[in-house]
Structure 1
């Protein structure tokens, strides 16, 4: 699974699962902390389609942490102020890069994908309830 996808799933639907995974397995893998969780600002870049140019839309507050095992570095970058989740995401990134605990992570991600599917289905149902039937309006 690609980093972008699992990061999105954990940050949107699995904060508690990420923290539980980190607390359960952090003693099983030796790592050094490169940088403690710290807040920063990231510029958000977007494309203007009329001129096909890039411009910076604004800034987003993020929390970033880095850990290392040997020469492999794990990065945790989350939106907002959340040092615990940032550390957990760095550990998960390091675990995926080292191919450690992947069976456990894949099980967690599978359950989170089910939660995501239910959430999307619920939102879709709400949207479809407000849909206007134009055929009925002509009667």
Structure 2
């Protein structure tokens, strides 16, 4: 499973689904907490295209959780102050790395991908409604 994809989809569209998954399966998978939910700041790096150089725009508040099962570590890092989502994301990361509950995760992920596609379609439709038709203006 592509980590970049599932983290984006769960963080943006599936907060409650991630937390529900964590609460449902946390008793079925033994894990140790390396570090509980803790807040911190992360520097945001971006590229300035005129000179093609990197610079730091500023800081973002994050919440990070790390859990472990044997030698496998799951990390949950989310923007803002959200302890529950951070724990759930760490558990999902651990589950994916251990290849546990993948069927359930794929079902949830497919549902959230549909939600994302509908959201993008709605936003696109709103943008297209405000588009100016220059041919009409010439008449």
TM-score by length of 2: 0.99
Q: Please state how far the C-alpha of 1:53 moved relative to its aligned partner.
A: 1.1
Does residue 75 of structure 1 match 2:71?
A: no
Gaps of 5+ in 1: none
1:51 Cα offset (Å): 1.3
Quote the offset at 1:18 in angstroms.
0.1
- For 2:116 and 2:13, the matched residues in 1 are separated by 7
User: What are the equivalent positions in structure 2 for 1:39-118 lying under 5 Å apart?
Assistant: 39-118=39-118
Distance 1:18 1:89 in 2: 7
For structure 2, the residue ranges without an aligned partner over 5 or more in a row are none
Normalization by structure 1: what TM-score? 0.99
Cα distance in structure 1, aligned partners of 2:64 and 2:56: 21
The match for 1:120 is 120
SS in 2 for 1:132: coil
Q: Aligned Cα RMSD in Å?
A: 0.5
Alpha-carbon distance in structure 2 between the residues aligned to 1:35 and 1:126? 43
